[in-house]
Amino acid sequence: MSIIFIVSPNYRQGDLGRSTFSRRPVLTELRERFPNTVKLSVAAMVVATIVGMTAGIISATKRYSLFDYSSMVGALIGVAAPVFWLGIMFQLLFAVRLGWLPSGQMGTFKHLILPALTLGLATAALIARITRSSMLDVLRQDYITTARSKGLNEQLVIYKHALKNALIPVVTVMGLQFGTLLGGAVLVETVFSWPGIGRLMVDSILARDYPVVQGVVLLLAVTFVFINLLVDMVYAYLDPRISYGTREVD
């Protein structure tokens, strides 16, 4: 019990304790590593959003086409493929065989490409499937038929009328997946030797550095809750019918 008391942080005063391995404050360790993980997660989410939404929109507008079948099969493979295996395959292809990109570490923009692609493609597959499903539901609505009957340009109908109304489930998935990216970065950071909190957690677990592990878990949980709060706020922007005011009860 005395050992647990010594290493236990004082959460009430914002003190997460000290690392039993480096003897540095846990907050200092998190402050140095967390921006690197955020950088990787944001880059991965940009890749996932661009690839996923583009594939989903094209698949919905060209339903049952060759592109539709190919993108959905690719989405299934992307969801099923483990991120650590995908990262190793990217390293073998682009770093070892072709020599185009570095295989790991953090430095220039080139060092970010492979980890971001590895982490973002699995999320892109899920976003593509949700975008396609949501767009198909919206494209069947009467107001889309009315907009087309008025002679509006098809691009205007899709991107102004259909896409905005189809974004709510997509934004929900994106918010949840961004929190998942922060947690999923554990494997990617380990494969690519990226100095983020994911790699910090793995190293701390192997070293039995419990204060650091507790600090990382607490930080990820708080970040996940904050991201979900932002997603709820975006809902009100996408759909004016949604409000978060108080309602009087008779």
pLDDT in the model for residue 5: 41
pLDDT in the model for residue 23: 83
pLDDT in the model for residue 60: 84
pLDDT in the model for residue 202: 84
Which residue do the tokens 């070293």 mark?
A: 207
Decide: 177 and 185 in contact? Cβ < 8 Å.
no
Residue 98 tokens, joined: 């072709």
pLDDT in the model for residue 243: 58
pLDDT in the model for residue 95: 86
The CA-atom distances, in angstroms, between 49 and each of 29, 57, 82, 114, 229 are: 30, 12, 19, 16, 20
Instruction: Classify each residue of 215-226 as buried b or exposed e, where b means 16 or more C-beta atoms within 10 Å of its C-beta.
Output: bbeebbeebbee
pLDDT digits (tens, 9 = 90+) for 200-224: 888 888 888 888 888 888 888 888 8
Q: Report the alpha-carbon distance of residue 185 to residue 211 in Å, rounded.
A: 20
| Ranges in the chain, pLDDT < 50 | 1-8, 248-250
pLDDT in the model for residue 247: 52
pLDDT in the model for residue 6: 43
Q: Report the alpha-carbon distance of residue 82 to residue 56 in Å, rounded.
A: 22
pLDDT in the model for residue 249: 47
DSSP string, the chain: -HHHHHH--BGGGTB--B-TTT-SBHHHHHHHHHHHHHHHHHHHHHHHHHHHHHHHHHHHHTTTSHHHHHHHHHHHHHHHS-HHHHHHHHIIIIIIIS--S-SSSS-SHHHHHHHHHHHHHHHHHHHHHHHHHHHHHHHTSHHHHHHHHTT--HHHIIIIIIHHHHHHHHHHHHHHHHHHHHHHHHHHHHHTT--SHHHHHHHHHHTT-HHHHHHHHHHHHHHHHHHHHHHHHHHHHH-TT---S-----
CATH, range 27-238: 1.10.3720.10
pLDDT in the model for residue 168: 77
pLDDT digits (tens, 9 = 90+) for 102-130: 887 777 888 888 888 888 887 888 888 88
